[in-house]
Amino acid sequence: MGVLEKIRDIEQEMARTQKNKATEYHLGLLKAKLARYRAELLEGQSAKSGGKGEGFDVAKSGYGRAVLIGFPSVGKSTLLSKVTNTESVAAAYAFTTLVAVPGVLDCEGAKVQLLDLPGIIEGASSGRGRGRQVVAVAKTADLVVMMLDVTKGDEQRQQLEHELEEIGIRLNRSKPDVVFKAKTAGGITINSTVPLTRTDERTIRGILQAYKIHNADVMIREDISTDDLIDVILGNRKYVPCLYVYNKIDSISLEEVDRLARLPHTMVMSCELDLNLEVFKRRVWEKMGFNRVYTKKRGEEPDLGDPLVIKTDATMEAVCDSVHRGIKNKFKYAVVWGKSSKFAPRPQKVGLTHRCAQDDVVSIVTNV
């Protein structure tokens, strides 16, 4: 029996099994087997294809990479052309884009690589069409931009989320707060700092045994599910922020536009009418987690025309690296004006571990 047949049998058994406390352990073991077989399938097909494939080996550049994911003819190529001045062939029929087309998005001073990927079709995670190459490139992204045709309802979104979930991409979720460490002896030790309501110790031990793990330390610091535990054990999941972009809003009512615009991680636009293109850039900035700080030389006004772009949670060390790689070796202290100063609006003297806030002004003092 091949891997695909094994996967199909497990999925059918899971569908037949009622979900309750009595079947929780059995379902947990089935999920573990299913995840293992899917991993085998992906690794096998990736090896056969020899990597991403021709037209998909695009080197990363800029401050980060955002990928446009969507079904054929939802407007990805049109969006790329309008926000990056990159020519990506667009037409009113499916599968116009056949390779990854890169463009550069100027996102409030930050250069972001925006990749237009071929349209995903159903079954992409199982290798249909060029879906496997598309999703493999998506795993390298710092942001997934899921483009949807607003006239198609929620079916497209659910289907795309399913395909990405199957390939190991987790959208708008953080990595489970679990420390898993395999060891050579000593059996399995499970500790939890929180009550577990979505799984139990018996199920956890069963899942570990399904992966032939008989010696390990597991520290659980949040209420995880069996799926979360499997993700931690496999260790190959990618947790990526996602921006859902509903295109062609000129085809629906204002009430429906308002409803969609209020959904979390979502924005609406019309590429054909150039509606919300600037909003798109701003939302990419926010979802990529960028922060902007300004530098100031001693005795001079801050340089507001040339900000440094860093990550939101970046420290003063990252600011130094943005100025020059060697400057932190000569770092003495920095003076910061803005929201991160605990004496605001007055400045504060800080060290390398200080975390900057949006639009801070920074003056770095060195030993030389």
Q: Which pLDDT score, from 0 to 100, does residue 53 have?
A: 45
CA distance 278 to 26: 50
* CA–CA separation, 292 and 341 (whole Å): 15
List the single range of 190-194, 264-268, 294-298 with lowest mean pLDDT.
294-298
pLDDT digits (tens, 9 = 90+) for 32-67: 888 888 777 666 555 455 444 444 567 777 888 999
- Domains of the chain, earliest start first: 1-45+175-232 (no CATH), 62-87+96-171+236-285 (3.40.50.300), 288-364 (3.10.20.30)
- pLDDT tens-digit profile of 2-19? 777 888 888 899 999 988
Q: What tokens does 353 get?
A: 């571990």
pLDDT of residue 95: 38
pLDDT of residue 121: 54
In order, the DSSP letters of 49-72 are HTSS-TT------BT-EEEEE--T
Query: What's the sign of the alpha-carbon dihedral 333, 311, 85, 252?
Result: negative
Cβ-in-10-Å burial (0-12, 13-18, 19+) of 322 comes to: middle
pLDDT exceeds 90 at position 142: yes
What's the N-to-C CA distance of the chain in angstroms?
70
Q: When comparing pLDDT for 129 and 248, which is higher?
A: 248
pLDDT band at 122, cuts 50/70/90?
Answer: low
Band of pLDDT at residue 218, cut at 50, 70 and 90: very high
- Contact criterion met (CB below 8 Å) for 79 and 271: yes
Q: Report which of 258, 201, 264, 266 is spatially closest to residue 229, judged by C-alpha positions.
A: 201
Q: Note the pTM of the prediction, 2 decimals.
A: 0.83
For residue 216, give the nearest of 224, 227, 204 by alpha carbon: 204
